[in-house]
Amino acid sequence: MPTIKASTLLNIGIAVFEAVGSPRYEAEIVSSSLVEADLAGVHSHGVMRIPYYVEHVREGLIKPGARVEIVRETSTTAIIDGGGGFGQVAGRRASEIAVSKALSHGISAVAVVNTGHIGRLGEYTLYIAENGMVGLGFCTTYRASVAPYGGRGRRLSTAPISIAAPSSRFPFLLDYATSIVAEGKLRLKYLSREPTPEAWIVDAQGRLSMDPSDFYERGGALLPFGGYKGYALAMAVEILSGILVGAGFPCSGCYKGMNSILLIALDPSVFVGRDVFVNDVSKYIEAMKSTPPAEGFLEVLVPGELEYRSREEKLKTGVPVEDEVWARIRRTIVELGLDLDRLLSEATPP
């Protein structure tokens, strides 16, 4: 498994996306999003996506250089049409607009529709938190991949949810799919030809399975996390980020685009005050951290802490990339006629 500098991965992504038609600014946004996910340890949304994004462009599912525009707007809300382009571009703009409106009015809600894969949802709520606010994010995807509790067919998307808040130490960051795992994590197991550590899916007959092939080759479905509770939360996420914003829902057959999201920004200034809020969140985090660890644990962790630590470490040591993922990226580079040696000049040998 090679370990590669983040700067090298960033340059690879930029070169690849420019090669398939993205303008420079767009290629930088998308590549940075993927590398930041890997730095955070969220490899399911990292550079493993590069070959798939190229395939999506070739299939017409993503349009490089697409126009991103606001199609409906009030003082506190907006709906952005991503034009069928890269989701990270529309997601970046949505988070910026959400912050701007919340600064003026205390609260905002901004939706994105008709866009490609938006990447890691927590990227956008984290941006809101880094601007001193609470960020909430909900996402629906076009492809039904999750079975409802008690069912065996694909009806729900992985329906991720994210909440982020600022603190003096590191941001609180909740960011996960309402399926038992993100589809990308299952894909990594499939590419590595490894079984899952527990039953993440049901096969086409509704039987629990640890074989990723049952999902990718034989019509199985991911399970919701936490049984009926995760199932209920997934429905709520799709109501908010799919139906409410006019994108529809995955199993309707008429969902618009690949992803749709709803971002909400809350400015603590109109509640307890920003300084008080950040101070109290910091104390709250310390209260969790000071809990004596249970048997078998070294410490109590807080949501977002592992990602924060991972980023600090990988910026120094590099990003490990699975062998099969790396092989696919290299093939993509060659297929696009790019200079492999130049792009890989900063890579650390396996």
**Rounded to the nearest 5°, which phi and psi values hold at 182?**
-65, 145
| Predicted local confidence at residue 348, as pLDDT | 46
**Cα gap 107→270, rounded to integer Å:** 9
Residue 346: the pLDDT is 52
Q: Tell me the average pLDDT of the chain.
A: 94
Instruction: Report, as an integer, the average pLDDT of 6-12.
Output: 95
142 contacts: CB under 8 Å, gap ≥ 6: 157, 250, 255, 257, 258, 259
Structure confidence at residue 253 (pLDDT): 73
Distances (CA, A) of 336 to 30, 40, 116: 18, 28, 21
Report how far residue 168's alpha carbon sits from residue 107's, in angstroms, rounded to the nearest whole number: 22
- In this prediction, what percent of the chain has a pLDDT beyond 70? 98
In Å, what is the CA distance from 228 to each residue of 147, 152, 201, 317, 338? 11, 14, 15, 41, 48
Task: Using pLDDT thresholds of 50, 70 and 90, give the confidence band for residue 4.
Answer: very high
Cβ neighbours of 255 (radius 10 Å): 22
What whole-number distance in Å separates Cα of residue 25 and Cα of residue 198? 41
Which strand (E) or helix (H) includes residue 134? Answer: strand 134-141
Encoding tokens for residue 139?
């996402």
- Is residue 128 within 8 A of residue 98, CB to CB? The reply is yes
Give the pLDDT mean for 63-80.
98
Residue 135 has pLDDT above 50, yes or no: yes
pLDDT of residue 96: 99
pLDDT of 349 reads 42
Alpha carbons 171 and 164: distance in angstroms, whole number: 7
Give pLDDT tens digits for 161-202. 999 999 999 999 999 999 998 888 898 899 888 999 999 999
Please name the residue ranges forming H helices in the chain: 6-19, 24-39, 49-58, 87-105, 122-130, 183-191, 213-216, 228-238, 274-289, 305-317, 323-335, 340-343
Domains of the chain: 1-65+318-350 (1.10.1530.10), 68-179+224-317 (3.30.1370.60), 180-223 (3.30.60.50)
Span of 49-58, 177-186, 251-260 with lowest mean pLDDT: 251-260
Q: What is the pLDDT of residue 191?
A: 85
Which of 2-6, 129-133, 267-271 has the least mean pLDDT? 2-6
